[in-house]
Amino acid sequence: MAVMQTPGGPSPGQTCVLILIFTVLLQALCVALTYVYFTNELKQMQDKYSKSGIACFLKEDDSFWDPTDDERMLSPCWQVKWQLRQFVRKAPNMKKLWARK
């Protein structure tokens, strides 16, 4: 017995190809949207951190130094400032050590 097809309707092969094309296009759209979203988020993060780093070294973030403030001590800007202060304090001692050699 032969299967009868209705005239004018798509064949099962054409239906399968159309579903495959639709699936690939939908997946490509999802990948494109995800790429655009994460690229935008990354750009915002880069802008935020570059501005905060610049503010740190240009002294736009000019509040007082409080070593007991835990929240401020976790800030990357304050960590860099603390390390620079320690280096500057040790620099005269290092100069004396180098002069002895």
More confident of the two residues 37 and 46 = 37
71 lies in the same domain as 81: yes
pLDDT at 1 over 60: no
Q: 8 in the Ramachandran plot: left (φ > 0), alpha (ψ -120 to 50) or beta? A: left
What is the pLDDT, as a whole number, of residue 14?
A: 92
**What is the torsional sign of CA 70, 76, 78, 83?**
positive
The mean pLDDT of 61-65, rounded to a whole number, is 54
Q: Write the DSSP symbol of residue 62.
A: -
The mean pLDDT of 60-88, rounded to a whole number, is 67
Report field, pTM of the whole predicted structure over 0.85: no
What is the pLDDT, as a whole number, of residue 29?
A: 97
Domain around 25: 12-61
SS3 state at 8: coil
38 lies in the same domain as 72: no
Provide the number of structural domains found in the chain: 2
